[in-house]
Amino acid sequence: MESIEKNTPMFSIIKGTLIAFLVTIIALAIFSALLVYTDLSEETIQPVIITVTGISILIGSSIGTKKLKKNGLINGAIIGILYILMIYILSSVLNSNFAINVMSIIMIGVGLIGGILGRYHRSKYKIINH
């Protein structure tokens, strides 16, 4: 099997997606503990999941595409879409439901925008400092 070299788009996409998943796992574990040990309403679950997803993708995209010299916005978008696709497949298998609903469309939008903004933020930051 061929190894993936660092600082390539493929490496950046994999790295960014894994970072996004790690951030999601940590954030949702904290949120789960808050749900169990406080009086937080279950009505907060959906908005928190959307927010955590967006922030996780934003962080993963920002870190994952950090060393890329070109096509960062596209690679950031790919990180977001790949993350959402993997979550969709996993949740569909676990729930035995492969339907597309309003929440699915919202999550696709959050993934795409979060991935692009993660890279855009990084690009903007570099422009300001040079």
Q: What is the pLDDT of residues 97-108, one digit of tens each?
A: 777 888 888 888
- Count CB neighbours of 52 within 10 A: 19
Query: Between residues 7 and 23, which one has the greater pLDDT?
Result: 23
Say if residue 71's pLDDT is above 70. yes
- pTM, rounded to two decimals: 0.82
User: 7-41 in b/e burial notation, b at 16+ Cβ within 10 A?
Assistant: eebebbbebbbebbbebbeebbeebeeebeeeeee
Of the candidate ranges 24-38, 42-56, 69-83, the one whose mean pLDDT is the lowest = 69-83
**CA max distance for the chain:** 51
The stretches of 38-71 forming alpha helices (DSSP H) are 45-64
Please compute the mean of the pLDDT values over residues 115-127 and round it to a whole number: 63
Sign of CA dihedral 78, 81, 83, 89: negative
Q: What is the pLDDT of residue 4?
A: 63
26 is written with which tokens? 């940590």
HSE, side-chain direction, 13 A CA sphere, residue 112: 6
